[in-house]
Every structure is written in structure tokens, then in C-alpha cells.
Amino acid sequence: MPPSPDPAVLRGMPLFAGLDADALAEVVRHARPRRVPKGTPIFSQGETAAAGHALIDGRVKIVQTGPDGQQVVMRFIGPGEMFGTLAIFTDGLYPADAVAVSDSLALSWPTAAMTVLMERHPAIAMNALTIVGDRLREVQNRLREVSTERVERRIAHALIRLVRQAGRRVEAGVEIDFPLSRQDVAEMTGTTLHTVSRTLSAWESQGIVESGRQQVVIRKPHALVAIAEDLPPLRPDR
Amino acid sequence: MDADHRRRPPQPDTNLADLTMADLMRLRPACVPVLLRRGLACPGCAMAPFMTVREAADAYGLDLDAFLSDLAATPAPHTPTESRECTPTA
């Protein structure tokens, strides 16, 4: 187990925004750090939620499996984000799997400790509510997209959402800065691997994106936004 | 600052061209209406932190110099070294 982290790792985390240094020190005293190699599950769907979690470094995929085995990627968690906390507010069971998709460092707080911290520092509970609210809004947007939009727009929206979360400027354009497979994109957009491959190949031939096995670079950001938002076409070569 | 600023006609500003769209909108909020008027979808866009003014002009097929003149004509209140309230006018 890595040594107890410095309270500074909590700075900038929306869950703990507004806490003073003493409160942050108290929060970090209850935290259990854990290194999670790429590919390792952190918790599993249906398990009793023993803890709430926050990611310090790396990337975690939250994926839910239906009764028929069909998987849906709920979201990717990046550094500074909380995860696995919904169970604290609901039935105490994790609603999805969490798997590290790159080498990660996570903190966890036993459910009882997290509840006590929220009672002692209501700002944490208010922050959690804001985060849950933001995620609900995102889920509502995705539900609307899945219900009403052509699959091409859904895929464009999914990539743009990932850019907002983990975009990085590179020479060729804007890279999504973590391993992302076409299967992941299919599971984020409620479509098949075949459809994602066909769509990305078409975009590649137009020079809009470039995708490796686990990597996506947006070469023409505006063109992707134009697809997602149904913007009027400008010039065919853009 | 404004006295000096007003004497010069707005010049195409090469620095502006290399700002990201997100920085432009943050540093010079008065540019936002200019962007909307020209039909740019940059306000609120996830790509805005990654694309420069120059690249946006290119993507939208705008004349860069004309675009920069429009942007430079807006007030720039959020320069890091100056405060809005107490700027000594030389």
C-alpha cells in the first residue's frame, strides 16, 4: 500500500472544494490509497459498496452490464473525479463495474467514514450533490441523443464529451488522452462495433479523425462539432 | 489605458491570432457577440481550449485580418497586469 497521501492531492477536487486545510487533513486521514494497474477492476456491479472513491491519477471506466450481457460505458473517470459514490446515497450496491484503463492511483473512504465526513463538513455533501446533478444532466443529454439522434451525431457527441474531459492539444489536432477502443465508443453510444468502425473509417477518409487501436485524434475539430451539432456546411475542404 | 488605446485605429493583432478561442473569450468577453454575429459556434464548445483564433478563422473560411480587426476593436478589460478600476492614465 502506498504511503498516506499529502492533503494537497485533494486540492482542486470538486468533491472537497471549499474545505479548509484542517478539514482536508481530516479527509485525507480517512483515505486509503490504492495503486491500480491498467486492466484491474476496482469494484464490481452488484457488490456491496464498502467505500466511496476518488481518482488521483490515471483513468477509470465505469461500465454497466445488462441482463443479456450487453455492456454500456457509463462514463470515464479522470483525475480529480469521484466515483462509486452513488451507492452511498442509494441501496448500498455498486451499480456498475469500475476498471482502470490506465495505471491509476485512487483514494477510497469507507462508506461509514464518508458519511461521517459529510455530516461534519456539509460542504462535501453539497459538492457531491452538485456532481451528481451534473452527471444526471449528462445522462439526460445522452438519453435524448440515443432516443432522437442519428448514430453519427451520437458518436460525434461522445468524442466531443471525451475531449471536454480529457482533450490534449497535439501537433495533428486534439487527442483524447487515454486508451479508448472502438468497442468503448460503441458502448458509450448504444450502437455496434461495426457501426462505430464504419463511421470512424468514413471520418478518417475525410481527414476528420485519426484513430489507432486505442487512440483517437480529432484532426478537424470544427468538422466534428459540425456533425454533432448539425451546423450548416461551410466549405467542403474544411 | 483607454486614452492611448482610442488614439490608434484597431490594428490586426498577431497575438490575438494565436490565442486559443477559450482564452480569447475569457480575456475579452466582449468578443463573444462578434463570434456569434459571424456565426461561429465557439462559445461553450469543447474544442475552444484547443483551437486558436487563426485556426477558427480557417475552419470557418473567414478572412483572418478582417476577423482580427473586428476582435481588436472590442475592449480588452481582463489584461492580467491591469485592474479595471485603477489604471493610471499616462
Asked if the structure places residue A199 within a domain, the reply is yes
Paired strand residues for A36: A104
The half-sphere exposure of B40 on its side-chain side, counting CA atoms within 13 A, is: 29
Residue A176 is assigned to a structural domain of this protein: yes
Residues in chain B with CB shorter than 8 Å from the CB of A216 are: none
Domain assignment present for residue B16? The answer is yes
- Chain B neighbours among A 192-231 (CB < 8 Å)? 218, 220-225, 229, 231
Residue B44 belongs to domain spanning: 2-72
The low-confidence residues of chain B, meaning pLDDT below 70, are 1-14, 77-90
Give the Cα separation of A188 and A142 in Å (integer). Answer: 9
Would you call A163 and B46 a contact, using CB atoms and an 8 Å cutoff? yes
Residue A32 is part of a domain; what is its CATH number? 2.60.120.10
Q: Which of B47, B56, B59 shows the shortest C-beta gap to A163?
A: B47
Three-class SS state of A162:
helix
Report pLDDT for B11. Answer: 54
A225/B60 Cβ within 8 A: no
Are A18 and A126 found together in one domain? yes
| CB-closest option in B41, B50, B59 to A167 | B50
The single residue listed with the C-alpha cell 470544427 is: A222
Same-domain status, A153 and A131:
no
Q: How far apart are CA A216 and CA A179, in angstroms?
A: 8
Q: What is the ipTM, given to two decimal places?
A: 0.72
Say if residue A153 is in the same domain as residue A222. Answer: yes
Residue A75 lies in a domain: yes
**Angle CA A152–A97–A119, to nearest 5:** 110
Three cell numbers written together for A18: 471549499
Indicate yes or no: CB of B59 within 8 angstroms of CB of A218: no
A164 in contact with chain B, both atoms CB, cutoff 8 A: yes
Could you give the CA distance from residue B84 to residue B30 in angstroms, rounded to a whole number? Answer: 14
| Residues A14, A114 within the same domain | yes
Rounded CA gap, A33 and A3, in Å?
8
Which residues in chain A touch residue B49, judged by CB atoms under 8 angstroms apart? 167
Decide: B40 and B53 in contact? Cβ < 8 Å: no
From A109, A135, A161, the end of a domain falls on A135
Distant-in-sequence, close-in-space partners of B85: CB < 8 Å, separation ≥ 6? none
Residues of chain B found within 8 Å of residue A169, distances taken between Cβ atoms: 50
Specify if B82 maps to a domain: no
Q: In this structure, how many other beta carbons lie within 10 angstroms of the beta carbon of residue B66?
A: 12
DSSP assignment letter at B31: H
pLDDT of residue B6: 52
On the 0-12 / 13-18 / 19+ scale of CB atoms within 10 A, B86 is exposed
Look at chain B and report how many structural domains it folds into: 1
A149-156 long-range contacts, CB within 8 A, separation 24+: A151/A189, A151/A191, A151/A195, A151/A199, A152/A199, A152/A227, A153/A227, A153/A228, A153/A230, A154/A189, A154/A190, A154/A191, A155/A185, A155/A189, A155/A191, A155/A196, A155/A199, A155/A200, A156/A224, A156/A225, A156/A227, A156/A228
Facing B46 at nearest CB: one of A164, A231, A238: A164
Q: Is residue B31 part of a domain?
A: yes
Residue A42 grid coordinates: 476496482
- At residue B63, the 3 state secondary structure works out as coil
Q: The domain spanning residue A155 has which CATH number?
A: 1.10.10.10
First-residue to last-residue Cα distance in chain B: 8
A58 and A12 within one domain: yes
Range of the domain at A219: 149-229
Q: Which of A20, A13, A26 is nearest to A57 (CA)?
A: A13
Question: Are residue A95 and residue A32 in the same domain, yes or no?
Answer: yes
Q: Which of B47, B49, B59 sits opposite A238 (nearest CB)?
A: B59
Instruction: Determine, for residues B50 and A169 on separate chains, whether the beta-carbon distance falls below 8 Å.
Output: yes
On chain A, the residues whose CB falls within 8 A of the CB of B61 are: 234-235, 238
**Which residues from chain B sit within 8 angstroms of residue A167, using beta carbons?**
46-47, 49-50
Instruction: Tell me, yes or no, whether B35 lies in a domain.
Output: yes
Number of other residues whose CB lies within 10 A of the CB of residue A51: 23
Q: What is the 3-state secondary structure (H, E, C) of A49-92?
A: CCEEEEEEEEEEEEEEECCCCCEEEEEEECCCCEECCHHHHCCC
Is some CB atom of chain B closer than 8 A to the CB atom of A233? Answer: no
The packing angle between helices A111-120 and A122-148, to 10°, is 110
Contacts of A164 in chain B (CB under 8 A): 46
pLDDT of A83 reads 95
Please answer yes or no on whether A167 and B60 come within 8 Å at the CB atom. no
Question: Are both A26 and A130 inside the same structural domain?
Answer: yes
Which of A189, A215, A221, A173 has its CA nearest to residue A59? A215
- Low-confidence stretches of chain A (pLDDT beneath 50): 236-238
**Same domain for A122 and A33:** yes
Q: In terms of domains, do A81 and A182 share one?
A: no
Enumerate the H helices of A107-150 as residue ranges.
Answer: 111-120, 122-148
Q: Are residues A168 and A128 in the same domain?
A: no
